[in-house]
Amino acid sequence: MTYLQRSATSRRQFLKTSGTMVAMIPVINLLGCSDDSSPTAPQPQETPAQPTPPPQQPPAAAPAQRSPAAGTAMPKLEESDPTARALAYVHDANDVDASQQPRYEDGQRCDNCSLYAADSSDEADWGGCSIFPGKLVNANGWCNAWVRMR
């Protein structure tokens, strides 16, 4: 087969294919322009006007848990508690090894941490802490989650 014969064959093939596609255009138009109001066509759903919800507030830190009632103090956090150990909690901030705790600064204590909530029970030197829910931390304590009061 010569180049000219191949070229003629390709042209015939192209024209045949093009003719078929041109013949399909009315069919495609009919399908594309079907009546949207037919019973099978999906209808836009109307939703009743909803009141606009108030803007979302950023989640606040969970309030420190206090004892359920005066005289029913929560248990005291143990320094050996796994979470306490992970945060280097100590009952007395004077025991903090500043060389091991770069976040520690002199004067930081639980009772001047914004996460501390003084307890109203008999445990005057102990209070709640949102880092350790359900446990009391010592007012003189410290951990590396200490947060400055605003």
Interface region with ligand SF4, contact rule CB under 6 A, candidates 3-11, 38-46, 50-58, 112-120: 112-120
Looking up tokens 């909690």, which residue turns up?
89
Closest CA to 115 of 149, 74, 90, 86: 149
Looking up tokens 């255009």, which residue turns up?
25
Q: What share of the chain is helix, strand, coil (3-state, %, to 5)?
A: 25, 10, 60
Q: Is 139 in the site for ligand SF4 (CB under 6 A)?
A: no
For the chain, give the number of residues: 150
Q: Is 116 in the site for ligand SF4 (CB under 6 A)?
A: yes
Q: Is 104 in the site for ligand SF4 (CB under 6 A)?
A: no
Of the pair 46, 149, the CB lying nearest ligand SF4 is at: 149
Which of 74, 96, 119, 142 forms a contact with ligand SF4 (CB under 6 A)?
A: 142
Least gap, CB of 100 to ligand SF4 (angstroms): 16
Burial call 70-82: b when 16+ CB within 10 Å, e when fewer: eeebbeebebeee
At position 78, the amino acid (one-letter code) is: E
Q: Is 126 in the site for ligand SF4 (CB under 6 A)?
A: no
What is residue 43's three-state secondary structure?
Answer: coil
Interface region with ligand SF4, contact rule CB under 6 A, candidates 23-31, 36-44, 47-55, 140-148: 140-148
Residues of the shown chain interacting with ligand SF4 in the complex, contacts defined by CB under 6 A: 89, 110, 113, 115-116, 129, 131, 137, 141-143, 145-146
